[in-house]
Amino acid sequence: MRPTLTTLLLLAATLLAQDHHSAVDSRGDKVMGFSHEKTTHHFRLYEDGGAIEVEANSVGDTASRDQIRGHLRHIATMFAAGKFQAPMLIHDQTPPGVPAMQKLKSEISYRFRQTQRGAGVDIVTANRDALAAVHEFLRFQISDHRTGDAASVGPRPR
């Protein structure tokens, strides 16, 4: 039985996607300074913005926890200044939403916070255009990092 053109195209697309995601993981480990295999990323979409959260998978992995905290503290500072080089290096492209987030940087706040096994960055805005850009950026992160997080918007936990 000969494979159909559709089957061959699907196979090629699958292989390209695997190569892309493998490259994202590899670049991410270098740029972020911690292993994607030892940590878990989450990207949350909230009515007032969203959040980036990373935790060490093991409670005892204090090295990953500390690396996460350093990276996300740096990310909060860089993003607030409109500098998005880290995601550009990880994804090998400018993520959707970044140009608007840079333009509207004064309308968006980035608050670093520690968690028991890592850290988070709360992204908050009251500007409609900035909010749309933040959501676009976070949805891209969910997809490219394959986190399985919900792409829908919900209320921020209190």
In a domain, 152, yes or no: no
- 135 pLDDT above the threshold of 50: yes
| pLDDT on residue 29 | 61
In a domain, 132, yes or no: yes
| pLDDT tens digits along 7-28 | 645 545 554 555 656 665 666 5
Structural domain count, the chain? 1
In a domain, 150, yes or no: no
| pLDDT tens digits along 78-115 | 999 999 886 656 657 788 999 999 999 999 999 999 99
pTM as predicted: 0.81
End-to-end CA distance of the chain: 58
The domain in which residue 91 lies consists of 5-144
In a domain, 53, yes or no: yes
| pLDDT on residue 114 | 98
| pLDDT on residue 8 | 43
In a domain, 156, yes or no: no
| pLDDT tens digits along 52-86 | 999 999 999 999 999 999 999 999 999 999 998 86
Query: Exposed, middle or buried by CB within 10 Å (0-12, 13-18, 19+), for 11?
Result: exposed
Q: Which residue has the higher pLDDT, 118 or 9?
A: 118
Please state the separation of Cα 72 from the chain's center in Å.
Answer: 11
- For residues 79 and 101, the answer to whether their CB atoms sit within 8 Å is yes
| pLDDT on residue 51 | 98
